[in-house]
Structure 1
Amino acid sequence: MNEISEKKESSDKLQREAFKADSRRAAIGGFLAALTIMGGSWMMGQISGSEARYLLETVLPNVRSFSGTLMLALATVLALMLTLLGLSSSSTTQLKWIHYERIKQIALVDMVTFIAAVLFYLLLNVPVQETDSGTLQWFYNLYYAALIISSILAGAVIAIVLMLYNAVRNIIYAVGPEKESQIIRAEEEE
């Protein structure tokens, strides 16, 4: 009996480490994507305040469209997570709790990113082009804030996709023909 509990503890520790490594890789992937997008904006060079107003007016429709598309994609991912949960629970293979923790983590990051995208979309619908009271520095700051927030949202979506890949990969290993996975609960663990 003691040997079984030691194996279970060792297996749980390996799973937690794999979960942390997968989460770390997804976060790094999202962070690098956001930095790459921001770097592309930075490489365009510095702009003046009057250029910032013109560029802001030019980029706002595209950023609004991007934000709306993100909201649709994130809501779809959250809905498809229910399908993943259904597949997980209806499978004849008993899955370990770490699998459900992974799904919970993806859902949390997705929900936070969705809320951020909705708030960003609402802020983008304020008619800043119509204002004459804003200083040129204000347009400059607003332009770069829109670029940075868009980059962060894009990086978060990339991180979510990487986390989804890890979850789907583990499900395929668990319910596929080979059935070699660390998320399968052994008979003695029940």
Structure 2
Amino acid sequence: MNATVCAPTSAMAVANWFLDRAKNEPNVPAVDQLKLYKLVYYAHAWYLGNKCGPLFDEDIEAWPHGPVVRDLYIEFKNAGRGPIKKLGTRFATHGGKFEIETPVYAGELEPYLESVWNSYKKHSGIQLSNATHAPGEPWTLVAEKRDLSGKPTIPNELIEQVYSAKVEGSRQH
């Protein structure tokens, strides 16, 4: 995957973009918690791997079923194992007032997010989770050295290192 534009956003806006996009494709596996967290992770990982810096500022943590952004888990945990049927919200400040907003990314990163969606949409959450557990993946490298009960952060530097090598490998083929 090649990211041609570098522009930061939030994990919630990326998650909502995928949820909104999934509504238009009922023939692909539903977006449940596992799938959503992994889509957001892969978007962030490939963005780092393309040397664009972090896609968003939130940490990615190594949870037992793979990489997770904690804010997304807090927002969507009530979906259980079923499809997520709502967009996420967050508090924001506008003109000195707190409001609840529903961020959905709209801008120059949309072609990039579309490429991530097209690469992973046909996979279930379990398939994507299993892929994050493969040898050499950032989650696996952290899990080999740390107890996951504390849900340690997967450093962006590690994600970038692994995914930069994948980008370079894809360019050589």
* TM-based fold match above 0.5: no
> If the TM-score is normalised by the length of the shorter chain, which range does it land in?
under 0.3
Normalising to structure 1: TM-score of the pair? 0.25
Higher share in strand:
2
Normalising to structure 2: TM-score of the pair? 0.27
Larger Rg: 1
